[in-house]
Amino acid sequence: MSIRHMSTRFKQFAVLLVLSFTAMPVWANGLNDIFGEVNGYLAAVLFFDVFPGESVSMPFIVAWLVVGATYLTIRMNFINLRAMKHSVDVLRGRYARPDDEGEVSPFQALTTALSATVGLGNIAGVAIAISIGGPGATFWMIVAGFLGMTSKFTEATLAQTYREVRPDGHVMGGAMEYLSRGFSERGMPKLGYALAIMFCVLAIGGSLGAGNAFQVSQALSAVQQNIPWFQEYKWVFGLIMAGLVGIVIIGGIRRIAHVAEALVPTMISIYILAALWIIVSNLTVVPAAFGSIIQGAFSLEAGFGGLIGVLVQGFKRAAFSSEAGIGSAAIAHATARTHYPVRQGIVALLEPFIDTVVICTMTALVIIITGVASAPEHAALVEAKEGAALTSVAFGSVISWFPVVLSLCVVLFAYSTMISWSYYGERCWSFMFGERGSMIYKLTFVAFVVIGSMTSAGNILDFSDLLILAMAFPNFIALYMFSGKVRGMLDEYWAKLESGELDREVGR
């Protein structure tokens, strides 16, 4: 890289920091109230109760995800279970071809998507789900994870099918592309474009909330447990994170993919090893923990409405954790180098299994075993929905020094999520306003990093839930509409796999 080019990048980075620092005192004071006020309007419009009875509550968007994921799992003949081995083979590069078109490898696309999903949803979100819905919410998170594997497969396949590889080699793909171009194929271009714009608006809002401000807020809550100085100077933490984020997001998907490729496996390994240590150290109470999960999942002590409430909490947190059916990860998978769209879809289905079925279950077991969610001394953390801090307390109750390591993991999880969501939001922004306007979005995103350190986690969490889950509405319309096409592509691909034709293509 030339000195002149480095100078230009440094100037851009400096602008990001200056804007963040300048915007912080102007926006931070009133933004928390704005989050709270907007939440009420969005909830009334998007999350009406599909059950009219007073004792049972099921938000429409949660029912939309449950029914959709179940339908796709049956429609694709349980590809979420059939393709596990093949997905690992693809990740190992067994079917890679030199003429595959795209920007990143299938593994880099997976780690980029995982960097957005394996994060505070697994750490903070699980603690919040258990504190609200009890241990039974864990069971429904696992179920949602298994069903979500098929949703992720379908949307990643469509993202590859309808992506646009531009002359400069950059890829524009994701739900906005298969909504606009897919519906246009069906003779409904105006409806497709309207749904694509709806998706983009929600994704941009979600990137600034769930993918940014919430991440910073939760990371700060965990760091404060070990570095009290940040309680007084929250904005300093925000400014540090803004600088680190700004350095990466200027470089686009290739730089984000390289950072994610290095960070994600390390973060997951550290976190899983610590969780396994606590679980193995308490093997005698693990059966009881699983018993409380099963019992809580089907308990009718609080009536049918209570059971539905537990299910809703599990599916909400699973959706926030894995983003299956949301359409966000499809933006990352669209950039992967692959010859068959279905092949990247099969890679994508590993995401919900890793981040929800494996990591969320381990987090839940740690929280249930240690009992922190129901302990009176931690009621303030539960009330404030400080899930990351609650999980930190759970780990620290068994491994006294681990909260320091967990704080680092939380920061890295938050950081990786933020850089991936910055790409999702930037692609949606560019879809609406063109590539030249992407710097405006990046400036806004970095400013929100600082703002997120100054606002409460409760309002940000609610706001994030609304926007992220609402993305599933336009996205699942496309998944339903094009499920037959995906099934046809899957059957054709699977026949080639079983006949050995795919092996012969790569000289095996």
Residue 469 pLDDT grade (very low, low, confident, very high; cuts 50, 70, 90):
confident
Residue with more model confidence, 159 or 235:
159
CB atoms within 10 A of CB 298: 11
Residue with more model confidence, 186 or 95:
186
Residue 21 pLDDT grade (very low, low, confident, very high; cuts 50, 70, 90):
very low
- When mean pLDDT is compared across 167-176, 297-306, 363-372, 498-507, the lowest value belongs to 297-306
Q: What is residue 120's three-state secondary structure?
A: helix
Q: What are the chain's domains?
A: 3-505 (1.20.1740)
What pLDDT is attached to residue 410? 74
How large is the average pLDDT for residues 441-450? 84
Residue with more model confidence, 461 or 309:
309
The alpha carbon dihedral of 139, 397, 213, 266 has a sign of: negative
What pLDDT is attached to residue 456? 61
What is the separation of C-alpha 161 from the centre of its chain, rounded to a whole number of angstroms? Answer: 22
How large is the average pLDDT for residues 57-62? 74
pLDDT at 2 over 60: no
Q: Distance (Å, rounded) from C-alpha 129 to C-alpha 1?
A: 47
Q: From the CA atom positions of the chain, what is the Rg in Å?
A: 22
Residue 4 pLDDT grade (very low, low, confident, very high; cuts 50, 70, 90):
very low
What percent of the chain is modeled with pLDDT above 90? 17
Categorise residue 131: left if φ over 0, alpha if ψ from -120 to 50, beta otherwise: alpha
pLDDT at 446 over 80: yes
Residue 25 pLDDT grade (very low, low, confident, very high; cuts 50, 70, 90):
very low
What pLDDT is attached to residue 34? 58
What pLDDT is attached to residue 184? 93
> Residues 385, 164: contact at Cβ < 8 Å?
no
How large is the average pLDDT for residues 215-244? 77
Residue with more model confidence, 243 or 79:
79
Place of tokens 């302990």: 375
pLDDT at 491 over 60: yes
Q: What size, in residues, is the chain?
A: 508
Residue 168 pLDDT grade (very low, low, confident, very high; cuts 50, 70, 90):
low
How large is the average pLDDT for residues 181-202? 93
Residue with more model confidence, 13 or 491:
491
pLDDT at 455 over 70: no
Place of tokens 């994921």: 69
Residue 55 pLDDT grade (very low, low, confident, very high; cuts 50, 70, 90):
low
Mean of per-residue pLDDT scores for the chain = 78
Residue with more model confidence, 184 or 320:
184
Q: What is residue 62's three-state secondary structure?
A: helix
pLDDT at 54 over 60: no
Alpha helices (H) along 76-118: 79-82, 84-91, 106-117
Place of tokens 């938050």: 414
Q: Distance (Å, rounded) from C-alpha 247 to C-alpha 451?
A: 18
How large is the average pLDDT for residues 139-163? 90
Look up residue 100 and give its two tokens. Answer: 């595959």
466 to 62, 167, 378, 420: CA distances (angstroms): 11, 36, 26, 20
- When mean pLDDT is compared across 23-27, 112-116, 224-228, 310-314, the lowest value belongs to 23-27
Look up residue 494 and give its two tokens. Answer: 């699977």
Q: Distance (Å, rounded) from C-alpha 385 to C-alpha 224?
A: 15
Residue 57 pLDDT grade (very low, low, confident, very high; cuts 50, 70, 90):
low
> Residues 409, 271: contact at Cβ < 8 Å?
yes
pLDDT at 29 over 60: no
- When mean pLDDT is compared across 89-93, 206-210, 306-310, the lowest value belongs to 306-310
CB atoms within 10 A of CB 131: 23
pTM: 0.82
How large is the average pLDDT for residues 11-25? 48
> Residues 224, 406: contact at Cβ < 8 Å?
no
What pLDDT is attached to residue 72? 95
What pLDDT is attached to residue 362? 86
**N-to-C CA span, the chain:** 39
